[in-house]
A and B are shown apart, each in its own frame.
Chain A
Amino acid sequence: MRPSLPPEFIALHKRNRIMAAFAELTAEKGYEATKISDVVKRAAVARKTLYDNFSGKEEVFLAAFDAAVDGMASRAEEACASVEGGWEAAVEAGLAGLLAYVAEEPAMTRLCLVDAQSATPASVERHEQTMQRFIELARQRLPREGPLPETVDEAVVGGVAHILSRELRHGRAAEAPDLLPQLREFVVGQYRAPLTKGAGRGR
């Protein structure tokens, strides 16, 4: 007989398996074509287990979305917090954490960055709130001593999201970490103080 695991552990594990299976199927065939019957088969859980945890398809989608956002954000934030040095090192570490998560969880991040944009009105709204969350993060953490345009954070977050969703759509999640030098340069360059004196955005 197998040693029994605590029921809460098993319940959580099943919940995660359902979300992961959902994300994989969405990546393969899109949100519309993803059926609950396929999800329970892929996750190897009973149909009842799915409905004990979620009210239906959209709720699984949104829960997976939230889990992916938490995964991306916490990986980026932990990486930021673990480095010594200035904001440039923090940006690099944060991006490295984000890219590592993309490489490890291609289906979950794809659901978040690609599929959520068009799946349902609630997912569209969630996607927008998430963009806003990362914009706020950039606004708080990055230097802002000179007259930077108000919208620089929105443009930077939008640019990074565009690159990640492009890579995910092309099935290149595993190579995402290779983009670190360029993405770092893209982000840091926008906030770096001008080298020359004069009409620039001083620090």
Chain B
Amino acid sequence: MKSLPRGRHGLSREFVVQNQLDRLLDSIAESLHEYGYDKTTVSVITSQARVSKSDFYRHFTSKDQCFLAAYDDAVERLRREVLGPCAKKDDWATAVVAALEAVLGFLARNPARGDLLFVEGLRAGPDVYARFQRVVHSFVCYLSDRAPQPAAGGAPGDCVAEAVVGGIASLLSRWVLAGETEEIEDRLAEITEFALTPYLGSAEARRIASRDA
């Protein structure tokens, strides 16, 4: 993200502040991805973002606080990507495929934020891990809302839906950790089959996965 022109530019104060914040959040994500948590110092973050240290401390009290803000920001970006295509589809299965496709697309285009969400989210300590689990939980509704009732037996319970989303999150973190984000979009069919199987049975899940994914 480019820094703003120096000197008089006629931009509003709020615009400048928001732009600085966006640059800082971009910068910490990139820097974590490149150097890891320990080497991502406030100096590294601010120099990459072209923001002064005093401006950094106007936004955050510490690197940890900046990290959490970047984490939450990455979650919201991912959620926005998922919600758009998901809402456009009338049919439940097609909406789930669209949501999964959006997640993979996001990770392919934003490897640094993928790292932040799926690797650092697990490793940065118990508080961040708790946050990671809450995020996983908050995505369960995109699978379970409007889900069909299977012909035999009752509907898969909340725990099944959560296990499916948790299982997908665990696959994504393995792929992100292995640096496989470039090819990650090729994985759509297999995670689609995995997500739909509890609701539709494996034959139908596989049929949809090979048709739509």
Q: Contact string, A174-186, partner B, CB cutoff 8 A, digits 1/0?
A: 0000010111011
A156 to B126, CA, bound (A): 23
List the B side residues contacting A185 at CB < 8 Å.
Answer: 156-157, 160, 198
Residues of A within 8 A of B130 (CB): 169
Output the least CB separation between B67 and chain A (Å).
13
CB–CB A162/B170 < 8 A:
yes
> Once bound together, how far apart are the Cα atoms of A157 and B128, in whole Å?
22
B43 within 8 A of A: no
Within 8 A of B (CB), among A150-176: 150-152, 154-163, 165-166, 169
Contacting residues, chain A, for B162 (C-beta < 8 A):
162-163, 166
- Within the complex, the shortest CB–CB distance from B128 to chain A, in Å, comes to 8
In the complex, what residue of chain A is closest to B175 when comparing beta carbons?
A151
Main secondary structure of the interface of A (DSSP, over half): helix
* Docked-complex contact B171 and A155, CB < 8 angstroms: yes
Q: Is A199 within 8 A of B170, CB to CB?
A: no
Q: How many residues of A contact B (CB 8 A)?
A: 43
Stretch at the interface among B49-57, B85-93, B96-104, B117-125: B117-125
**Interface status of A196 (Cβ within 8 A of chain B):** yes
Residues of A within 8 A of B69 (CB): none
Chain B interface bracket (under 10, 10 to 19, 20 to 34, 35 or more): 35 or more
Known interface pairs A150-B190, A169-B130, A189-B197; A198-B203 also in contact (CB < 8 Å) = yes
- Residues 168-207 of chain B: 1 if any A CB is under 8 Å from the residue's CB, otherwise 0? 1111001000000000000101110110011001111011
Which residues of chain B come closer than 8 Å to A124, judged between CB atoms?
Answer: 123
Give the residue of A118, A151, A156 whose beta carbon is less than 8 angstroms from that of B129. A118
Query: What CA separation (Å) do A161 and B163 show in the bound complex?
Result: 8
Residues of A within 8 A of B157 (CB): 181-182, 185
Tell yes or no: A3 within 8 A of B by CB.
Answer: no
Q: Are A159 and B203 in contact (CB under 8 A)?
A: no
Please state if B170 and A183 are interface contacts (CB–CB under 8 Å).
no
CB–CB B125/A195 < 8 A: no
Q: Does A149 belong to the interface (CB within 8 Å)?
A: yes
A-B contacts besides A179-B159, A190-B198, 4 pairs, CB < 8 Å: A114-B126, A166-B166, A182-B158, A194-B202
Sample 6 A-B pairs with CB under 8 A, ordered by A number. Answer: A155-B171, A159-B164, A161-B166, A162-B167, A186-B164, A195-B203
Binding site for A on B (CB under 8 A): 122-126, 128-130, 133, 136-137, 156-160, 162-171, 174, 187, 189-191, 193-194, 197-198, 201-204, 206-207, 210
Residues on A lying within 8 angstroms of B by beta carbon are 30-32, 114-115, 117-118, 124, 131, 149-152, 154-163, 165-166, 169, 179, 181-183, 185-186, 189-190, 192-196, 198-201
